Every structure is written in structure tokens, then in C-alpha cells.
A and B are shown apart, each in its own frame.
Chain A
Amino acid sequence: MRQPDQKKLRQRARAEKRFRLYGIAALLFAGSALVFLVMTIVSSGCSAFFRTTLTLELSLDPDRLNVKPPYTREVLMDGSYYTTLKSALYQLFPEVSSRADKRALSKMLSPGGELQLRNYILDDPEAIGKTVLFEIPVASDFDQLYKGNLPRTGEHTRLSAKQMAWFDQLDSDGFIHYRFNPGFLFGADSRYPELAGIGGAIAGSFHALLVCFLLSFPLGIAAAVYLEEFAKDNRFTRIIEANINNLAAVPSVIFGLLGLAVILNYFGLPRGTPLVGGMVLALMTLPTIIIACRSSLRAVSPGIRQGALAMGASPIQVTFQQVLPAAMPGTLTGAIIGLAQALGETAPLLMIGMVAFIANVPATPMDSSAALPVQIYLWAESAERGFVEKTSAAIIVIMTFLILMNFIAVVIRSRTQTKTE
């Protein structure tokens, strides 16, 4: 008998081991890319959910506020709130006297403080004449300094040594606080990073997804039911099927071009609205829903169909009263996954004009607005240092929504699996 070549066997064993290692290395690469990405985003984004505030003792003197009774809305809208805030800040630093220094000091105030004070007085004109402790956001550069995102020395620092010294003194005297920032989650976009929020973008995305769902869900189900239950196997059916498969793989920019040329320029629907965005997204989601609905229709046991037919139901009644309800969980899962994809789509929304700067939270799908992914793009492109953490935080928010949606899809799927088994 021929003896096995020991050397060759060892070689082959080594080759086997190496091959296996390649596989592990590939998975490790993909895994570490994922971890690296998530870590980068989380580490730079978490701080955006908080903001640095400055507590000032304000004497709301009518003369300084430049308001005279009666305190009507018009009078109060014109008050000099910025001056009031500035003088309160100057009082904390009696040694600062030159104009240049004062200007440098006032850079600490964010325009948000002025608005906040105005709204406070508008809500409660009784407060005029009293002295109150008032907490306002600080300007973005100081906010970033406090969060450690802005270097204190070197060429990238944006604040002077004096400004930093003043800020540190305020901090050690207990005037600076670090608090949760509700404005980020619920507010609209702003030119000032410390005031910018994603509430408007969330509302815009919600409206667009609502329109997308209302259009694509019924249409998708109807198309799937036709193809699976009623269509004859002819040329026309095959063309439809080929089209659905191809649409699923058409790049998203193309859908943007379609929206721009047909929905906006021909039909003249309002530019930059979630209504148009939702329509374009619906076209992109349609194939996903059709494919999911068809496969769950196929999975419905033929016994249900035959039983219902035997009871005298018409084919339409069988489909809509027996088969479709049984296929609903699978269809819903597919629809949620499709909507999750639509939530992340950016390019088509950019092209139908959902990129305008919108400083309020839109109320209906007919108001022009931004959307979550577009807001990420807009912030990522802006030069201000303070928007970097906002971008990452917006990504955390969108990823949270995506994970939530996928989780719901998985729950629906697993619950129905246990039921039918």
C-alpha cells in the first residue's frame, strides 16, 4: 500500500487552516468597519444632546429693556433684550472696560438667549421690574470649548486667551451648567449650531413616509395580489415582473430625476414638500412591498383557498377575506423594511428640492421642509465646527429610528411564525 506523503498532508492541513483564517479575517474586517463607524458617530455625536448654559442675574428694568407701558405685544416685540443680557454679563466682569474687550466678551451670548428672554417677557409681562435668574445657551464656540471639541491652543482654536479665561472664571464661579438640550430633538434648523434642532427634519421625514406608505402600501398589495392570484402567465405578466425586478435595482438618483422632470416640472406640484418626496419614495418602495407581499401570498396554505372556494366564495372574496389577511404579517414586515429604506434615502429628496433652509417645524405634508437624511447632508456640508456633533447626533437619531423599525418588523415576523407552526 502506498504510504500517504506526510509532508503533503501537512501542507494541505496548513492550506485548510489558512483558508479558514481568510474567512475569519474577512468577517473581522467587516465587523471592525461597523464598530469603527458606530464608535466614531457615537463618540462625536453624544454631546449634541446636551448644551452649555450660562446663568445670568437679570434686573428686568423697563428702561434698559426699552419698553413702556402698556405692555402690548408690539411694544414687547421691540424690546432691547440683547442689551439687557449684555449688561448683565458685563456686570460680572467690572474690570472689562475697553470696547474691543466688551465686544469679545459679548461673543459668549447666543442669539438664542435673546429670543428666549423675549418669549419669557411675552409670556409674563408681570416680570418686568423684577430681578430674575435666567439661564441661556452660550454661543457655539464656547459650547464646543466646554465639550472639549475645540482645542484651547494651536492654529484651530477660534477663541482668544482672554475669552477662554473669562469663560473659565464663569465656570469656576458656578455660572456655567451642562444640561440636556430639548431644543435639539424638538426644534427646527438654525444657522447657529447651538440652536439647531432636528425636530423639523423629523416632522418632514414623518410626513414623507406617511405619504409614501399611503401610496405604496395599497398599490403594492394590489399589484402583488394581481400577479400572484389572478394574472395569467402571458407576455404582459412577464413584462410587469421584469419591470418590478428592474425598478428595485434602479439607482435612486434616477428616481430623483423622474420626480424633478415629471412631478415638479410637468405637474407643477409644490417644490421641496414632503408630499412630492413621499411620492418619489413610494415609487422606490413599491418593488419591495410587491416582492414581500407576493412571497407571503405564496406561503398561504392552499387549503385555505380551496376551503373558501368550496364554501361558495367568489375568487375575489377568497382573496380579500381569507388569503390576504393570512399574508398580512409578512406584507407588513416587508412594508416596514421598505419604509426603513425610504427613511434613509437622500439623493432623490435633494433633487426634488427638500434642501431649503427651513427654520420652523412643518405642520402638513404640503409645507416645504427638510428630511432627516437631508438634514444630515446639509449639516455635514456646513463649515461651522459646531455642526459636526449635530450631524453625528442626527445620525444617531436616524439610526435609532431604523433599528426601531427593523425591530418591529422582526417582532411581527416572529410572532406570526409561532402562530402558524
Chain B
Amino acid sequence: MTFLQLSVLFFTLVATSGVLGWRRIRIPHLAGAIRPRSRAVYHGVYNALWCGVPMLLVVLAWLAVEPLLIQPMVLHDLALTDAYAPENSAFKFLEIRNIAAGVLPAEFIEQPMLNAVERYRALKWQSGIALTILFLTAGVSGLYLGYRRISHVFPAREKVEVFIRFFLLASSSVAVLTTISIVLALAFETLRFFQQVPFTELLFGVKWNPQIAIRADQVGSSGAFGAIPLFTGTLLIAFIAMLVAVPVGLFSAIYLAEYARPAVRHVIKPLLEILAGIPTVVYGFFAALTVAPLIVDISDMVGLDASSESALAAGLVMGIMIIPFISSLSDDVINSVPYSLRDGSLAMGATRSETIRKVILPAALPGIAGALLLAVSRAIGETMIVVMAAGLAANLTANPLESVTTVTTQIVTILVGDQEFDSPKTLAAFALGLTLFFVTLTLNFIALHIVRKYREQYD
């Protein structure tokens, strides 16, 4: 049963049940003299829900449970041969699945594996048949049950509305489910990482070299997973970015909010927003192709030696990317400072700049601090610019002309292309991801808290 066939079946059944429910109220000999309690269309929807929801639930349950059932069955035979180590089960299963799907070539695979692939295909086929039967049973019996309930006195609208309310509630909890699954997925893989590499090495080690051995006796077979160089690299680039973005963004916001005429404001604000709308991959290309060589040339002229993947290039371009972020947030904050403060200061004879520096900025300070924190969190989590413009070598340095690497760069490099599952290298990416998630989450949380507190102060 392919996805397409299933969905055609689904829509046909749902449409049929809808029409049936609608007709049951509409057919003349039933209609008689009594007016139905709900309009015919609600009966149609009611019947369609009875048919469609069970089918959807069956498919969802199947998607969640099927791998759990098939995996041990497929791996059972494989476990009898020596080609198998129990801790690799998830990886083996994925490999089998990929071979069966034709993603991996089957030519160089050993016999026990091929048997497992065959077994997987057979099980998958059986499971498809079982799914179809269950799916049809759910749909048809739902249709029947719903149809039987429909009558002229049946409150179909109220029932449909209860369902809609439930659906609305469920949709709004998708955000919560996403957060929970992010945390669970990352935490699960991270725990497996810490089974192989001690917790302290990741957080306090100063050497990052996530190589895994191809042979057990290979020289340097154990990788080094000290993430300190990644953290310092991330912070260095974020610091350079903030060095560019904070003054430019703040002064732009001040000028736009306090000096610019409305006409100028209406032209310049959208222009700044263009900067915010440019995809980060474009900034990355710009940094790697234009800015990095420029920095190499300039430092050559001054007599310095710059790497072609310098932290400065990535940081500068990231700063440009963050300018509109800071300026629009600070603009909002500055504009929400009450006019009475401004007018009072101007009436005392202060110049505009004195008013801004001594009255408005201190009043807006918490809000601006919140905006800056949000900007820092964005700089730390920014990916494409550093993937394209920063290097891969984990140097522990504060020199902006040298090449450094960042947390996000490493996550992407490790996980793009062919991966070895369950190797500490792949799991390290998830551990880094969890760290990144918590750091940005904390920053956002504090920032939002500050901004909200501040807003209440003047409301």
C-alpha cells in the first residue's frame, strides 16, 4: 500500500461518509414535517469525522509502533551471527532499512545482512497488508457507527463543535510537543554519548578532534571531544558580530526614532528589513567569496597574516546580519518611552542628544539589554555563515585573524553526508545540540522576561 493509494482511499471514504450523513437528513421521506435539530451539513461533517478520525489514528499509531515491532524481529536472526554487536542495533537496523529502500547499494553486503534485508522486506509487506485491513475496518466501522447515530433529533452541531474545540486544543499543544520532542531526542542521544565519552571531557576538554577509528588498533584511534575550543570560537565570532551590530544597530534605531522625519523613516525602515530578510546562506557566500579575501589582502598590506577562513570575516558579516534585528527591537523600546520624559527634559533646555543619552537611554536600558541578549542568542545559534566562512580546525585562540570553528559548524559538518550512527562522533553532534539549545533557551528566557517586565513598567 503506497502513501498515495492510502490517501486516495482515505479521501474517498471520508467524502462518501460525509455525503451519506448529509443525505440521511436530506432524503425527502425522512424529512417529513419535523425540522432536523442540526443542519444537514453538520450531520455530514459528523459522519465524516467518525470515519476519518479512526483511520488517521490507525495510521499514526502504526507509524509509531511499526519500527518497534519490526526491529527486534529483523535483528533476531542477525544476532545469531557474529556480524552483530548489540549496542549497534539502531545503526544496523537503519542500514538494513536503507539497503531495502535502495538508498545503499546491495552489492557488497554480506549474506547474513542480505537475509536480514529480505526478512525486513517480507515483514514490511505483511505489515502493509495488516495496516490496510485495520485502516479499512476502522474507516468502515466508523462510518457505520456514525451513520447509525444520525437522526432528526440528533444534536450533530454540538457534537461537531465539541470535536472542533478538542482539535483546537490539540493544535495549540503542537508547540509544546515540539519542545518536548526536541529535548527528549537530544537528551536521549546525548546520554548515549556520555556512556562512551565522559561528561567532563566535553565541557572542560580543550582538544577537539572527533575522529573515529576505522580499525581498533589504529594510531590515535580515540577521538578527542573537548568542546572548549568550539565554545571559545563561537563566543569570539559572536563577540565580533556584536561589536559591529550593537553600535550600528543602536545608533540607527536612535536616529530613526528621534531624528528622522516620518518620510525618511518610511523609506529607511523597509530597507533595513531587507537586510533581515536575506537568507543566511547568502551572507555565508558573501563572507566566503568577498569579505574573507578582502581581509586577507588588507592584513597582507598591514603586514599581518590572516587565515582565509578568519573569524573576523564570519563575525563581520554576521554583525551585518544582526543589525536590523537590534535596530528594530531597540526602535520599539525607544518609542515606548513615554513622551512626558522626553518633553520634560527638552523643556529644561537639554539638547536632543543630551535627552537621549541622559533620559531616554537610561529609561530604555532594560529593554535594550533584552534586545541585545536576543541578538547574542541569535549570533550563537547562527549556522550557515559560520559553516561557509569559518573553518573546521578547532583552534583555541582569541586572534580574530585566525581560523576558529563553532558549535553549529561542527554539528552541521558531522551530520551532513554519510553518518555512522552510534559512533561517538555522530552522538557528539547531539550533545553539542543540547548544549546549544539550553544556552539559547536560557538567553531567550531571560531576555523575554526583561522585556516583559520593562513593558509593564510603563503601561
Contacts and interface: CB of A to CB of B under 8 A. Distances in A.
Nearest to B430: A257
Interface in A30-63: 30-31, 33-34, 36-37, 40-41
Contact of A347 (B186, B357, B387): B387
Interface in A298-323: 314, 316, 320
A331 to B, nearest CB: 14
B277 A27 contact: no
B164 A223 contact: no
Contact of A350 (B247, B382, B412): B412
Contacts of B382: 251
Q: Is the interface of B mostly helix, strand, loop or mixed?
A: helix
B279 A34 contact: no
Interface in B316-342: 320, 323-324, 327
B353 A19 contact: yes
A344 B182 contact: no
Nearest to B276: A341
B430 A246 contact: no
Contacts of B98: 271
Given A13-B351, A226-B172, A355-B416, A37 B433 contact: no
A253 B178 contact: no
A25 B255 CA distance: 10
B94 A265 contact: yes
B444 A246 contact: yes
Interface residues of B, number: 96
A133 interface: no
Quick one: which of A258, A314, A343, A402 has the most chain B CB within 10 A? Answer: A258
A314 B157 contact: yes
B175 A316 contact: no
Interface string B248-261: 11111011100100
Nearest to A351: B415
Given A243-B176, A355-B417, A373-B281, A27 B255 contact: yes
A89 interface: no
A75 interface: no
Contacts of A132: none
Quick one: which of B251, B429, B444 has the most chain A CB within 10 A? Answer: B251
Interface in A216-255: 218-220, 222-223, 225-227, 230-231, 239-240, 243-247, 249-255
Given A249-B377, A253-B436, A355-B417, A346 B441 contact: no
A399 B282 contact: yes
B383 A251 contact: yes
A222 B174 CA distance: 10
Contacts of A37: 278, 282-283, 286, 320
A12 B354 contact: yes
Contact of B168 (A222, A256, A262): A222
B116 to A, nearest CB: 15
B365 interface: no
A277 interface: no
B446 to A, nearest CB: 12
A254 B277 contact: no
Contacts of B320: 30, 33, 37
A159 interface: no
Given A40-B286, A347-B383, A376-B282, A34 B271 contact: yes
Contact of B174 (A31, A223, A388, A399): A223
A380 to B, nearest CB: 5
B440 to A, nearest CB: 6
A16 B352 CA distance: 7
Contacts of B256: 23, 27
A115 interface: no
B185 A26 contact: no
Contacts of A120: none
Contacts of B323: 30, 33
A316 B251 contact: no
B49 to A, nearest CB: 14
A377 B281 contact: yes
Contacts of A391: 285, 289
Contacts of B179: 243, 246-247
B171 A226 contact: yes
B169 A380 contact: no
B408 A251 contact: yes
Quick one: which of B97, B185, B327 has the most chain A CB within 10 A? Answer: B185
Contact of A380 (B272, B288, B351, B416): B288
Contacts of B34: none
Contacts of B186: 254, 257-258, 261
A267 B63 CA distance: 6
A34 B282 CA distance: 12
B277 to A, nearest CB: 6
Contacts of B250: 26
Contacts of A260: 415
B101 A15 contact: no
B171 A223 contact: yes
B93 to A, nearest CB: 9
B275 interface: yes
Contact of B67 (A16, A220, A267, A398): A267
A268 B176 contact: no
Interface string A379-408: 011000000100110010011001000100
A283 interface: yes
A346 B185 CA distance: 21
Contacts of B285: 376, 380, 391-392, 395
B281 A246 contact: no
A257 B252 contact: no
Contacts of B374: 249
B175 A30 contact: no
A30 B252 contact: yes
B383 A252 contact: yes
A207 to B, nearest CB: 14
B426 to A, nearest CB: 10
B204 interface: no
B262 to A, nearest CB: 16
A29 interface: yes
Nearest to A258: B182
Interface in A151-166: none
A7 interface: no
Given A40-B290, A346-B383, A19 B356 contact: yes
A244 B175 CA distance: 6
A404 B185 CA distance: 37
A258 B268 CA distance: 38
A350 B408 CA distance: 12
Contacts of B157: 314
A318 to B, nearest CB: 11
11 contacts: A12-B354, A230-B165, A244-B175, A249-B378, A251-B408, A253-B433, A257-B186, A265-B90, A286-B178, A344-B280, A366-B3
Given A247-B179, A253-B411, 9 more contacts: A27-B268, A243-B175, A254-B381, A261-B186, A262-B181, A350-B412, A351-B411, A351-B415, A373-B279
Interface of A: 12-13, 15-16, 18-20, 22-27, 29-31, 33-34, 36-37, 40-41, 218-220, 222-223, 225-227, 230-231, 239-240, 243-247, 249-258, 260-262, 265-268, 270-271, 283, 286-287, 290, 314, 316, 320, 340-341, 343-347, 350-351, 355, 366, 373, 376-377, 380-381, 388, 391-392, 395, 398-399, 402, 406
The 5 closest A-B pairs by CB, nearest first: A251-B381, A23-B255, A344-B279, A222-B171, A26-B251
